[in-house]
Chains A and B, each alone.
Chain A
Amino acid sequence: MTREKIIQLVNQIFIEQFEIEPDQLTPEKRIFEDLALDSLDIVDLVTGLQQKFSIPLRENKDILEIRTLNDIYVLFEKLAAEHPDIIAKLNQDP
């Protein structure tokens, strides 16, 4: 899975579930300060990411280190390498 595909899928969550304008979604944006998510919103974000990527995240400690959008992209690049079977399914989706 390419970084571009990961960015596309992650950004889809922010656009569809959080109604954030696409032009706001640049990698350096800080999740809390710039995008105004709070700890409760993070629950929705994690749920959205789990559903989109079909990867369990609740026990993932790296998720606690996320500060920026780029951190999410990097985390999923790592997870994509660890879960090739799931990612292969996603790659088949348009």
Chain B
Amino acid sequence: MRSALVFTFLALSTVLYFLVGIIPVLIALCLPKKHRGRWMRYIILYYGLWQIRVVFRPFFKIEFRPQPDELTRQAGIYVFNHRSASDPFLVALFGKEVIQIVNGWPMKLPFYGFFARLCEYIDATRTDFEQSLAHIGDLTSRGVSVMAFPEGTRSGNQSMNHFHSGIFRIARELKLPIYPCAIAGNERLPDRSFRFHDDSLIIVEQLTPISADEVAAAPTAYALKQRIHLAIAEASTKLDAEIASRIRI
């Protein structure tokens, strides 16, 4: 029942958003590619904020704990743990113009896939390393950050899968800062079968950034990914404990 309600809200709110937003979308479609991408990324950013701040509000609370602005001004790579299909919505909390690296199937979705392509998202299954490097280099030079889920797929629970090292290799090559972030509480919002449970609190916490100099100084991409994996795993475990204690109260 709860899942049906959430998905009904999601579908109706999506239709409403794009009915209201049809004019900016049409304008964006007429613009040159670079400007179109920027318009579309902001349209998707506000769509994400609309969903998590308004539409999901009756169902669960979302807390966001960012780092100070001065530490995250430079375009870089945001790295998240990945428990649930709600993660790509939650990244809107950062309020930045971003692209996401996605794992094939979201690009093929009839509606979201269309916008993902216009936003210049990267399909990790169809883009080789050199293409990704060039694309991310171009985007970050224009101030666009990249949101990555290096586990590659949702864990569906409180554990974390191994990270793939590709995005860390790109960060080293391009000398970009990395912004590690932990998401907790949403492993069943929705679960891997797209059912929404009664969980009521999600916390998104941005951890201490890793400067471009620190990234470049790491001996290998592997060393970097393991350090960040450990930091996110420790942070999300703490957040899980906090959520459990607050829900009990």
User: Which A positions have Cβ atoms within 8 angstroms of B?
Assistant: 16-20, 36-38, 40-41, 44
Contact = CB atoms under 8 A, between A and B. Distances in A.
Contacts of A44: 220-222
Interface residues of B, number: 15
A38 B223 CA distance: 12
A67 to B, nearest CB: 16
B83 interface: no
B132 to A, nearest CB: 11
Q: Which of A37, A41, A44 has the most CB of B within 10 A?
A: A41
| Chief secondary structure at chain A's binding surface | loop
Given A41-B220, A44-B220, A19 B165 contact: no
Contact of A16 (B164, B219, B229): B219
A16 to B, nearest CB: 7
A40 B169 contact: yes
Interface in B138-181: 162-166, 169
A41 B222 contact: yes
| Chief secondary structure at chain B's binding surface | helix
Nearest to A18: B222
A40 B171 CA distance: 14
Contacts of A16: 219
Given A36-B163, A40-B169, A41-B165, A19 B221 contact: no
Q: Which of A17, A20, A37, A40 has the most CB of B within 10 A?
A: A40
Interface string B207-247: 00000000000011111001101000000000000000000
A34 B107 CA distance: 31
A22 B129 CA distance: 31
A33 to B, nearest CB: 8
A37 to B, nearest CB: 6
Contacts of B219: 16-19
B17 to A, nearest CB: 38
A44 B169 CA distance: 11
A93 B72 CA distance: 46
Given A18-B226, A40-B129, 20 more contacts: A16-B219, A17-B219, A18-B219, A18-B220, A18-B222, A19-B222, A19-B223, A20-B226, A36-B163, A36-B229, A37-B222, A38-B162, A38-B164, A38-B166, A40-B166, A40-B221, A41-B220, A41-B222, A44-B220, A44-B222
A37 B162 CA distance: 9
A37 B226 CA distance: 10
Given A38-B164, A38-B165, A41-B165, A17 B223 contact: yes
